[in-house]
Structure 1
Amino acid sequence: MFFDTGKEREIDRIFDAHKTVVESGINSAISACGGKKTLDREIDLSRKEDLYRFFSYLHNVINDVIEWVQAVKNHLNKELRYHKESDIYEMALIASNTNFDLKEETNLDYSHEKGKATVEDLLKSKVSENIPQATIDALCEKYGIQDPPKD
């Protein structure tokens, strides 16, 4: 496994070690029936035909994954709803009530007045320095807050 040239070059030892791990994983994978799961037989990545067989398999797996990701992306693009930035902050205010203790109930009650109070508190804090002025203006308009802070 480890060639004497690798004795002087760490990159060669690392390559050999990685190749051995990949080869072991492929050769030890079995199907539910007990047969070879991945490539139907043991492979030796030092043999040209096995290396070609492995890269062909890898090529097919990668193409299948790309097709799957594309299908998911297309599906999500049809299903996604996009929100204005001020609505995102309102949804974040609601989501901030999430109780991550799964043994307890989460109260997601929300009111315009509670949202307004939260935004007013936010605008008084240093956190508002990181919020774009257009978003602050939109939140102030949404909640009827007069004289919003300016840059």
Structure 2
Amino acid sequence: MSEDKYQITEKAQYLNLLILKDELQSFDTLLSEAITDADTWLSKLRATRGVFLTLNNVKDIADRLRINGSTEFTLSTRSLRKDLMFANHFRNRGIGHLNDILLKRAAQWSPQIFYESFKDNNSFKLIEAHRTIIESCINSYIDKDGRQKVFDTEIDLMYPPDAKQFYSYLSALVTKSVNWLNEASKIILSLIVHHTNEEIQELAAIAGQTNFDLKSESEFSYSIEEHRINFAETMKVLKERGTDPKILEVMREKFEI
């Protein structure tokens, strides 16, 4: 039996969209919180790096997803893919991978991390490490003429106008991504046929065949006759073990065919 009968692909896509939307909304909340001390500044920097990883995952599904939506949805998908190229650069240089060349530029960009006066200040060094990696990811996203592709200038997050420009851009990008995920989720969900209670026996059998060896295929076979035999054997064993008759009766009502 093919997995198509159970819409496994569509369900997997929906799970992907649902999780990414939740992650972005969670990061958006963190990034919107006021900076009141070193701890909240560090939390914001961590969230900044983290949100770009999720944004890159949004790009991945936007690139792969093939669904029939409105013209507006198609145009928004194309626009989002283009915008998220920045997230892909960010992920490949400073999150999913810590690029060696970028780290060297980050060390060059922020010599204060290695000042004698801060030698034993681990909190300062950690904050500055996150900040310089973020800024290096931003500032290395350049065109053939060496100009930053998004902001047209280098960004220093300790300079308030730069910080405002960057985080306003990031907030807008997160909002745009969440809106796209919301629309894509609606389209995918409209294609999925939700199961009735009468299908529980078949679905339980299919669930039991889940193969967690990701290098191999899962099985999707179901036989009513095989179900009846397995159910009868299970009930026999439970009865022999002294299972409460009321429980056995409930099981018969739910699972017996």
TM-score (norm 2): 0.41
Cα 1:119/1:29, change in 2 over 3 Å: farther
Q: Select 2:229's aligned residue among 117, 134, 141.
A: 117
> Deviation digits for residues 22-44 of structure 1, max 9, x if unmatched?
10111112358865333222111
> Which whole-Å deviations, capped at 9, do the CAs of 1:42-90 have from their partners, x for residues lacking one?
1111211111111111111111111012112222332222213552441
Cα-Cα RMSD: 3.6
Aligned equivalents of 1:90, 1:31: Cα separation in 2: 55
TM-score (normalised: structure 1)? 0.64
Q: Specify every segment of 5 or more residues in structure 1 that has no aligned partner in the other structure, as ranges.
A: 144-151
The 3-state SS of whatever aligns with 1:77 is helix
Secondary structure at the counterpart of residue 21 of structure 1: helix
CA distance 1:121–1:69, change in 2 (3 Å)? farther
Q: Which one has a bigger Cα radius of gyration?
A: 1
Is the CA contact 2:143–2:149 (under 8 Å) kept in the aligned structure 1? yes
Query: More helix per residue: 1 or 2?
Result: 2
Which residue in the other structure is 1:50 paired with?
A: 162
Distance (Å, rounded) in 2 between the aligned partners of 1:98 and 1:32: 49
Distance across 2 between alignment mates of 1:31 and 1:88: 56
Unaligned runs of 5+ in 2: 1-111
What is the percentage of aligned positions where both structures have the same residue?
A: 26
Structure showing greater relative contact order (alpha-carbon pairs closer than 8 Å, 6 or more residues apart): 2
User: After superposition, where does 1:2-151 map in structure 2 within 5 Å?
Assistant: 2=113, 7=119, 9-31=121-143, 35-85=147-197, 87-94=199-206, 96-97=208-209, 108-123=220-235, 124=237, 136=251, 137-140=253-256, 143=257
